[in-house]
Structure 1
C-alpha cells in the first residue's frame, strides 16, 4: 500500500539525505520478534532457540527475532505463556523502564499487554504492578495477556487516567506511558495504520498525550521515573510532547540513560524551542535497525510531594477462608497462597500491599485461584499458568511436538493412567492448564474460549 504523500513530504524534509534509506526500509520486509517470559523460562539461552530460528534483539535481553515460517504464535509454548509475540522495537520500552523487584509500577496505556508482561518479568513477582487500559474490549485482552504470562502481582484496571490520578497521587516509582498516537511507525506492519492516518492526526494525538502525561506526572513519587513512548515519527508527538511536559513541570528532567547503538538520538531541532536534553531521548528508525518506528524518553521527577498511601485491599482472616478451597489445596497443591479474598464466588490471592480497588473498574487483582461453589472448588486457568511442575501433586507432561498436546488444546480427553484428581497439564515442563483424572482418562478443563480449532 502506498504511504500518504503528506507523511512522505514531511519525512523527506526532516531526514534530508537519510530519506532514501528510510523509504526503502518502509517498503521492505519487516522483522518478527518474541520476548521470553522469565517467569516461565529463566534461561537466557532458551532451549527451543533452534526450533524458531531465534537470534537476539540487542536492546532487550529477553528479546529475540524469529523466523516467521516457524509460527511460534501457533505453538503450545505460546499458550503456556513461555514467550510473548512482540514487535522488536517495542521491546525497547520495557528495557528502558527496567523496573526492579519490589517497586510500584504503573503501565498507564497497557493493552494488549506487551509492555505489562515485560515489566512483570523484570519485577520477578515482587512489588505492585498496575496495568490500565481505558477501552473495555482492549482491557479484556490485556487481562488475558497477564493471565497467560502467569503474573501474580498485577492489578488490571479499566479506567481513565484521571480517575487513577485521583486515587494514586505521588504513589508510583515507575510509570510507563506508551501513548495512543498517529501510528506512523506501524505503517509497514499494519495496513490499517495507513488507511486511518490523516494529516492532522499528530496534532490531535499530541493534545491527548499532554492530558495523559499530566495524570502520569501527578502519580509519580519524587525521584520516580517516567518512560514515555510512541510508535510514530511525528515530532509533535515525540520530542514535542516531551518539550511541552518540561515546560509545564520544571521538576521533570530528561534522564540520561544508555541506549542501544542502533538507536538514533532525539532531535531537539524538530520542535519549537527544543531543550538540548531532548537529544537524550531515543528514536528507532527502520532504516537503522531491524524493527518498526518508535520514540522513547526516560524522565525523572526531581521534586514534589509523596502522596498519602492508599488504603490496602482487605484479605480474609484464616477462619473465613472457604473450606472448599482448603480441601482443594491440601489434596492438589504443594504450595500455599496467602492474602486471600473473595469477590462474589471468585477467590483471589493478592500480592502484599495491594491497594484497595473499591470504586475502580478492576478486571484482575493478583492471582485468580478459582471458583468457590457449594461443596467444591474449581481451580482457575490462571492458577494453572502460574504454577510450576513442582507446585502440584499430580502432573502430566505432554511433549510439544507430539499429537497429544494438540488434542488437549482442542479440548479433547486424554488417555492417562495417573492417580485420580485434579492434574496440572504441562508441555515440556511448562504449565498449560488443568485436567481431571478419573478411570484412566484425563477429562479436559482447558477453557473453551481458548481451544484450538
Structure 2
C-alpha cells in the first residue's frame, strides 16, 4: 500500500475523530476493491435472471438488483437492448432518498443529468408525466441521449443550458429537481480510478462555489411543496454538509427531510438530516445525499408555452412532441 498524502491525512482527520477509523478510511482508498455492480431494470425482468445476484437490502427497490462483484452486465445483450441501466450501489444509495416521495409528480428536472443514471432512477421510481434532463457540458450530451434512448425513457426531453437560464424562465414548476453536483470526485479513488487534485483545497473550494451556484438556481425551479435532491460522490464536508448549511441559510423555506431507510447512515458531521456512504463500510465507494422540501404553499406554476420552442430542446422517444403535458 502506498503512503497517504498529507492532504488525504488531513481529510481523514477532518472526517473522523477516531484514529482507527481514519486508518480504515485511508486504507479503503489506497487499496481499491471491487464493489457490487447494480442494474436498474427499465423493462420487465426476464423470468430467469442472467446474473448472479447479491442479497437485496430491506429498502432496495424492486427494479434494482445488486450483482456479484465478478459480473459484467454491460457486456450482456440485454444491456444493448435497453432492458436495464448499469450503475454502482453508491448511486443507488444517493438516489434512494427519492423513494420517500409519495406525492404524484408531474415534472422531474435533472439539472446535471449526464450520463443519466439518477434521471432514470427518478423516472422509474416516481413515474412523472415528463422528465427533463439538462446537461451543461456539451460533450456529455451524446452519452446522455444514447442512454435515454436505449432504455426507452419517455416522455423525456434533453436540454443543454446553464442552470441560471431555467431559474429565470421556469420558476416553481417542477415537483422534483435533482442536483447530482459536479464535485472533486474523491470516491473515484476507492474504485481504483484517477481523480487528480481531488484532495487539494483549491479544487474543493472551486467545486463548492460551483455547487452553491447550481443548487441556488435549482431552488428557483422547485414547485411549492416540491423536493430538491442534492447528491455528490465526494467526501469533503465543504461539498456536502456545508453546502446544506449554506443552502438553508439562503433558502430557509427549504427543509431537509428525514429518510427513514437511511437513518443508519446519518452523517455524524452535522445535525442536518443528510446521509453518507463511506468506502470502508464495503457497500460502495462513497456518496452523500440530502433531500430538501420546499415548504411554501402557493400554487405551482405551469411551464410557459414558449418553453417548448427553445432551440436547445431535444425530445427523446417521442415523435413530434410539442407539449407532453397537454
Q: What's the TM-score once normalised by structure 1's chain length?
A: 0.64
Aligned to 1:396: none
Please say if 1:34 is aligned against 2:38. yes
SS in 2 for 1:191: coil
Between structure 1 and structure 2, the one with the greater Rg is 1
Please say if 1:53 is aligned against 2:57. no
Aligned to 2:84: 83
C-alpha separation in 1, matches of 2:48 and 2:40? 11
SS in 2 for 1:201: helix
C-alpha separation in 1, matches of 2:123 and 2:227? 17
C-alpha separation in 2, matches of 1:112 and 1:189? 18
The count of aligned residue pairs is 313
Root mean square deviation of aligned Cα: 2.5
Aligned to 1:244: 246
Aligned to 2:110: 107
| Unmatched 5+ stretches in structure 1 | 269-275, 314-355, 370-453
Q: Deviations over 1:128-150 (max 9, x none)?
A: 11111101121211111111111
SS in 2 for 1:236: helix
Report if the CA contact (8 A) 2:39-2:73 is conserved.
no
Report if the CA contact (8 A) 1:7-1:199 is conserved.
no
Aligned to 1:310: 303
Of 276, 287, 290, which residue of structure 1 is paired with 2:283?
A: 290
Please report how far the alpha carbon of residue 310 of structure 1 lies from its aligned counterpart in structure 2 after TM superposition: 2.3
Q: Deviations over 1:188-219 (max 9, x none)?
A: 22522146653321111111011111111111
More relative contact order, 1 or 2 (CA 8 Å, 6+ apart):
2
> Which is helix-richer, 1 or 2?
2
Please report how far the alpha carbon of residue 261 of structure 1 lies from its aligned counterpart in structure 2 after TM superposition: 6.1
C-alpha separation in 1, matches of 2:132 and 2:94? 16
Of 358, 363, 367, which residue of structure 1 is paired with 2:314?
A: 363
C-alpha separation in 2, matches of 1:8 and 1:284? 19
Q: What's the TM-score once normalised by structure 2's chain length?
A: 0.87
Q: Deviations over 1:297-316 (max 9, x none)?
A: 01111126545422348xxx
Please report how far the alpha carbon of residue 245 of structure 1 lies from its aligned counterpart in structure 2 after TM superposition: 0.4
SS in 1 for 2:39: strand
> Which is strand-richer, 1 or 2?
1
Q: Deviations over 1:157-195 (max 9, x none)?
A: 111111111221001111111100111122122522146
| Unmatched 5+ stretches in structure 2 | 321-326
Report if the CA contact (8 A) 1:54-1:64 is conserved.
yes
